[in-house]
Chain A
Amino acid sequence: MAAEDRTSPVPAAAQDTEALQPERSRLSLGLSEMRRLPWFPVVVLLVVLVIPAVFANQIAPHDPTRGSLSSRLQPPVWQEGGNSEHLLGTDKVGRDILTRIIYGSRISVIIALIAIVVSGIIGTALGITAGYWGGWVDALIMRLVDISLSIPIILLGLVLVAALGPRTSTVIGVIVVLLWSRYARLARGETLAVRVQDFVSRAQVAGSGHIRIMFKHILPNVFNSLVVLATLQVGFVIILESTLSFLGAGVPRPNPAWGLMVADGRELVASEKGWWVSLLPGMAIMLVVLSMNLLGDWLRDRLDPKQRQV
Chain B
Amino acid sequence: MSKIAVLIAVALTAATVTIVGCGGAVEQPAAGVATQPQASDAATAAPVRPSPLPATPAVTIVATATPRPTNTPSAAQAVTDLGGRLRIASVPPVQQLVGSWLGTTTAANMQVRPFSDPLIHTDRFDGSLVPGLATSWEANEDGTQWTFHLRDDIEFQHGWGKFTAHDVPHSTGLIVKEDAIASDTGIFRELFGNTYDDVINNVVVVDDNTVRYDVQVPNSIVDFFISAQQGNLFMYSKAQFEAEGLDGYEARPAGVGPWQFEERTLDVNLLYSRVPDHYRRSPFFEELEWVLIPEENTRLAQLKTGQVQIGEISRELHIDAVGSGLEVVQSQLPSLQVTFIIGGVYNPEAGSECADGGERCFYQPDEPHLDVRVREAINRAINRQEINEQLFDGIGQPHVVWGYHPALPGWNSRWLEEHEEKYGFDPERARQLLKESGHEGYKVKLLLTELPGVPEMIPMGEATYTYLTNVGIDVTSEAVEWSTYRADYYRPGRTHGTIAASRGTYRPAEITVRSYNRSGPTGFWRTSVDPRTDTLYDLATRSMDPVVKADALRELGDLKFDLYSEAPIVWLPAQLVIDPREVGEYVWPGNINASFTHTEYITPAQ
Contact = CB atoms under 8 A, between A and B. Distances in A.
A175 interface: no
A294 B21 contact: no
A154 B24 contact: yes
Cβ-closest 4 pairs across A and B:
A69-B390, A267-B296, A290-B13, A66-B466
Interface in A8-67: 38, 65-67
16 contacts: A65-B465, A65-B469, A66-B470, A67-B463, A68-B466, A92-B459, A92-B462, A93-B462, A165-B478, A252-B478, A253-B458, A253-B478, A254-B477, A262-B20, A262-B21, A274-B316
The interface residues of chain B, by DSSP majority, are classed as helix
B20 A242 contact: yes
Interface in B454-485: 458-459, 461-463, 465-466, 469-470, 477-479
B59 interface: no
- Chain A interface size band reads 35 or more
Contacts of B317: 267-268, 271
Question: Which of B13, B21, B314, B461: most chain A CB closer than 10 A?
Answer: B21
Nearest to A309: B5
B29 interface: no
A294 B314 contact: no
Contacts of B39: none
Contacts of B5: 297, 309
Contact of B390 (A72, A253, A289): A72
Nearest to A284: B17
Nearest to A270: B297
A269 B297 contact: yes
Nearest to A291: B13
Contacts of B17: 239, 282, 285-286, 289
A248 B297 CA distance: 19
Interface string B379-400: 0000100110011000000000
A101 to B, nearest CB: 14
A273 interface: yes
Contact of B316 (A94, A239, A271, A282): A271
Given A166-B479, A252-B479, A290 B10 contact: yes
Nearest to A249: B479
B9 interface: yes
A298 interface: yes
A239 B15 CA distance: 11
Given A93-B459, A239-B20, A67 B448 contact: no
A69 B20 contact: no
Nearest to B448: A253
Contacts of A242: 20
Given A253-B477, A269-B21, A285-B20, A38 B1 contact: yes
Interface in B1-39: 1, 5-6, 9-10, 12-14, 16-17, 19-21, 23-24
B463 A69 contact: yes
A242 B461 CA distance: 22
Interface in A241-262: 242-243, 246-248, 252-254, 259, 262
A217 interface: no
B20 A266 contact: no
A263 interface: yes
Question: Which of A154, A248, A254: most chain B CB closer than 10 A?
Answer: A254
B319 interface: yes
Interface residues of B, number: 41
Contacts of A68: 466
B20 A243 contact: yes
B320 interface: yes
A70 interface: yes
Given A69-B387, A92-B459, A253-B478, 11 more contacts: A69-B463, A94-B463, A166-B479, A252-B479, A253-B479, A263-B23, A269-B297, A270-B320, A274-B316, A285-B17, A290-B13
Contact of B477 (A67, A69, A252, A273): A252
A129 interface: no
A169 interface: no
A291 to B, nearest CB: 9
Nearest to A298: B1
Contacts of A67: 462-463, 466
Contacts of B470: 66
A293 B13 contact: yes
A1 to B, nearest CB: 30
Nearest to B455: A267
A92 B24 CA distance: 23
Nearest to A258: B20
Contacts of A70: 386, 390
Contacts of A72: 390-391
Contacts of B23: 243, 246-247, 263, 266
Contacts of A268: 316-317
A248 B316 contact: no
Question: Which of B295, B462, B470, B479: most chain A CB closer than 10 A?
Answer: B462
A278 interface: yes
A272 interface: yes
Contact of A273 (B13, B16, B319, B458): B319
B21 A266 contact: yes
B52 to A, nearest CB: 48
